[in-house]
Amino acid sequence: MNTHIRGHAEDAWSTVDLDHLTIAGAAHLFRRAGFGASLHELNAAIKLPLTDVVDGLLTTNTGTEFEQQSQIMKTVIQAGNLPVHLPAWWLYRFIQSPCQAWEKLVLFWHGHFATSAAKVNSALMMLAQNEIIRRSAYGPFESLVLEISRDPAMLIYLDSATNRRNNPNENYARELLELFCVGLGNYSEIDIRELARAFTGWEIQSGRFAFNQFQHDPTLKQLLGNANIESGEQAVAWIVQQPAAAKFIAQKLYRFYVSDQTPEPEVIQSFAAILRENEFEIRPVLKTIFTSRIFYSNTAYGQKIRSPVELAIGLLRCLDATASPVHLASSLSGLGQSVFYPPSVKGWDGGKRWINSATMIGRINLITEILNHKETRFVVEKNRLDKRFDIDDAESAVRHVETVWLSQPLDDEQRSKLTDIVEKSTPRRESRLLCAFKCAATLAESQLG
């Protein structure tokens, strides 16, 4: 543990030699697999065997009470069909869902098959797409690609609904190859034109997918070296089988879950092999990540810049708090991440691209804003937070922030300066924890997850 994994690609994905997690390991796992956890959750996790913790994270049983609440919000949005209310609904799920890893994975696929409500302009269709992704998130990649290819929101977003026999529209075909399946350099312009023909006649009728045989070009297409492709279904099956597809998805999963830094090619190669061995089933692959040596090494610890959603939801989760999703949605949009409104079909670039001067200031402000907001609710009354988390003095407040929030410990000088400021700014003992969070938020390290 805590070493860099270099050059041992096989080793990278072998199971970490660890029966139980440390507190730091548990905080890391909960941050990456989900959005973060409070000290109480972390303490519970370190008592269980690692595989049990991971299995527990990867479940999809959200419970009826939560789903009922979510459904009420959803029904209201569907009734008005106003897309602007969508982000708040999903943020509610991020904050409240008992299945954090599932929500996180749906967010991953949303960024992958990026579709923006700004163009689709229908809350109903965007919600239906979210449901498709949710249902197939852990499943085989091929069915996800196929469902997305027939999804009305996507058909509108990438103009596939008007992809007609005599005059094909290449937009969807291009992005399917470039951004959804195999990546740049693994197809030609001819493949794009052929694939666009395979998808001709995939239309929307009365808000649903419909195959229009009169607009479909039935002649054979030559796609990625296979001259026997006729239908869009065959095309998708063939594309997903390409070795480049496994590598492409492996890379994206690695960046989302393990590190912003590009690994050695062998690490991706061997991860791609794991994807293929599992026939592109995502759940076992995630389990491999969350129990791997590389995941619990310095190659992964603190090697990701938090997305705005991770920053805000992470703060709430580690304080066992909730906030107004409507208010959060607008703040997060200013930081560059409005769910249901990705900036382009490439989704969010992530990593260093999250950061610029305005978002840096905005991130510092956001923490203060959330903690001061009157609609933010903590698990206990604000003035009892110190008791809930065993905070005795300014130093223990700062140390608590380090444990649950920061992905690497502070150095002694930073810790003592922070402690000093917390001590001086808050004579009242019960406000020290929140003060420590606000002050720590100004440090660059707060942006790492």
Q: Which residues bind another protein (CB under 8 A)?
A: 158-159, 162-164, 166-171, 174, 178, 184, 189, 260-261, 302-305, 334, 336, 343-346, 349, 352-358, 360-362, 364-365, 368-369, 372, 414, 417-418, 420-422, 424-426, 435, 438-439, 441-445, 447-448
Residue 177: which region, alpha, beta or left (left: phi > 0; alpha: psi -120 to 50)?
alpha
Cα–Cα distance for residue pair 268/426, rounded to 1 Å: 49
State which residue, 269 or 368, has the beta carbon closest to another protein. Answer: 368
- Reading the block at residue 290, the tokens are 């969350």
Selection from 53, 10, 8 nearest residue 291 by Cα: 53
How far, in Å, CA of 116 to CA of 338, rounded?
Answer: 10
DSSP letter at 443 equals S
Strands 202-205 and 208-211: antiparallel
What minimum distance in Å lies between the beta carbon of 138 and another protein?
28
- Calpha distance 189→407 (Å, rounded): 44
Minimum CB separation of residue 447 from another protein in Å reads: 5
Nearer Cβ to another protein (76/358) = 358
The CB-of-89 to another protein minimum distance in angstroms stands at: 23
Q: Which is nearer to another protein, 21 or 312 (CB)?
A: 312
What is the smallest separation between the CB atom of 184 and another protein, expressed in angstroms?
Answer: 6
- What are the angstrom distances between the C-alpha of 47 and each of 55, 119, 252? 15, 48, 32
Report in angstroms how near the CB of residue 17 gets to another protein at its nearest.
Answer: 25
Q: Is 41 or 178 the residue whose CB approaches another protein more closely?
A: 178
Q: How far apart are CA 151 and CA 415, in angstroms?
A: 51
Closest CB to another protein among residues 404, 440: 440
* Least Å from the CB of residue 328 to another protein: 16
Token pair for 338: 């409005």
Give whichever of 275 and 406 is closer to another protein, judged by the CB atom: 406
Backbone angles phi, psi at 60, to 5 degrees: -125, 20
401's CB contacts (< 8 A; 6+ apart) are 433, 436, 437, 440
Host H or E run for residue 227: strand 226-229
How big is the chain, counted in residues?
A: 449
> Which SS3 state, helix, strand or coil, does residue 211 take?
strand
In the bound state with another protein, the residue whose beta carbon lies nearer, of 99 and 315, is 315
- Work out the end-to-end distance of the chain between its first and last CA atoms, rounded to an integer number of angstroms: 18
Could you tell me the smallest distance in angstroms from the CB atom of residue 145 to another protein?
19
Q: Least CB distance from residue 162 to another protein, whole Å?
A: 4
